[in-house]
């Protein structure tokens, strides 16, 4: 049957080929336009580079005073790396608004992204940062922290600063807790010194003071020591190869899309012709 008389549901492969031949000129023109347009768009798209750091959480009990001075039995049984709770805490910090705000303000990302003079610039900047930023645990239990940016050097700088900031935030509760204990120990020592004045030569008070002073010294040493809460397996470095866009795929898929759209328009045009002929009969 002539394709000008067939309904759409009766078309076969041969009929589709005939339609391509019948409408080859507009199909070729439309496909060529789509091909050229996709090349122009692909060339105009900004190039992004990805920088990534890999970290593991440390076992925070190793920062305890008793572990540092070897007072805890079975200390060799403790793993250097943290458990899943330590990893989850790192991920919570990494994906927090504190980290996003810190990087956005330090690197003036509103200006960098081109939102400096726009309404809702903070919201737009945060959204773009979040679309370019990722922090997750990979299949080897390492935490990957990545950033995409048009400037490979800036991308690496931001990732490394995020890693350092995560370590600083994660260590704050430990440091603060040690400071509180130090203040508490100093108060207890002052109190015992007052008791010793009232009870000079008391061996029990002197023994308590000796223990308290030893603990104070140990806590002061551990508080001053910089103990990292993460192990950096690999710091970020400026990427030499772009991460996106993949221009060849953009051109290929855009050209195929233009071809299919041109064919569908040709098919609909043919169907309208069939309908009009039937209405005139």
Q: Cα angle at 201 between 195 and 206, to 5 degrees?
A: 65
Return per-residue pLDDT of the chain as tens, 281 residues: 444 555 544 556 666 677 777 788 888 888 898 889 888 888 888 899 999 999 999 887 665 544 444 445 444 445 667 888 889 999 999 999 999 999 999 999 999 999 988 889 999 999 999 999 999 999 888 999 999 999 999 999 999 999 999 999 998 888 888 888 889 989 999 998 888 888 887 888 888 899 888 888 888 877 776 778 899 999 999 998 988 877 788 888 989 998 889 888 887 777 777 666 666 65
Whether the bond between 245 and the residue before it is cis, its omega within 30 degrees of 0, is yes
Cα separation, 22 vs 273, in Å, equals 13
Sign, CA torsion 265/269/274/278:
positive
Ordered domains of the chain (ranges, CATH): 8-45+245-280 (no CATH), 49-171+229-234 (3.30.70.1130)
* Tokens describing residue 95: 């994906």
Cα separation, 174 vs 60, in Å, equals 8
């Amino acid at each position: 049957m002539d394709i000008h008389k067939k309904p759409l549901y009766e078309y076969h492969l041969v009929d589709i080929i005939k339609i391509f031949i019948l409408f080859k000129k507009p199909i070729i023109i439309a496909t060529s336009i789509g091909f050229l347009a996709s090349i122009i768009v692909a060339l105009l798209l900004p190039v992004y580079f990805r920088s990534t750091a890999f970290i593991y959480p440390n076992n925070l009990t190793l920062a305890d005073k008793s572990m540092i001075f070897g007072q805890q039995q079975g200390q060799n049984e403790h793993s250097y790396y943290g458990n899943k709770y330590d990893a989850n805490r790192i991920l919570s910090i990494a994906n927090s608004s504190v980290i996003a705000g810190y990087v956005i303000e330090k690197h003036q990302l509103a200006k960098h992204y081109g939102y400096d003079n726009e309404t809702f610039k903070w919201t737009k900047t945060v959204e773009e940062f979040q679309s370019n930023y990722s922090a997750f645990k990979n299949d080897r239990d390492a935490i990957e922290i990545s950033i995409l940016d048009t400037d490979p050097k800036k991308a690496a700088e931001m990732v490394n600063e995020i890693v350092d900031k995560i370590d600083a935030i994660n260590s704050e509760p430990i440091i603060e807790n040690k400071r509180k204990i130090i203040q508490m120990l100093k108060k207890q020592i002052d109190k015992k010194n007052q008791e010793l004045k009232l009870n000079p030569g008391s061996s029990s008070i002197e023994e308590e003071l000796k223990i308290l002073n030893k603990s104070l010294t140990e806590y002061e040493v551990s508080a001053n020591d910089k103990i990292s809460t993460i192990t950096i397996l690999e710091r970020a470095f400026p990427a030499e190869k772009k991460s996106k866009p993949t221009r060849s795929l953009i051109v290929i898929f855009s050209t195929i899309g233009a071809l299919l759209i041109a064919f569908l328009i040709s098919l609909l045009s043919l169907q309208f012709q069939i309908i009009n002929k039937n209405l005139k009969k």
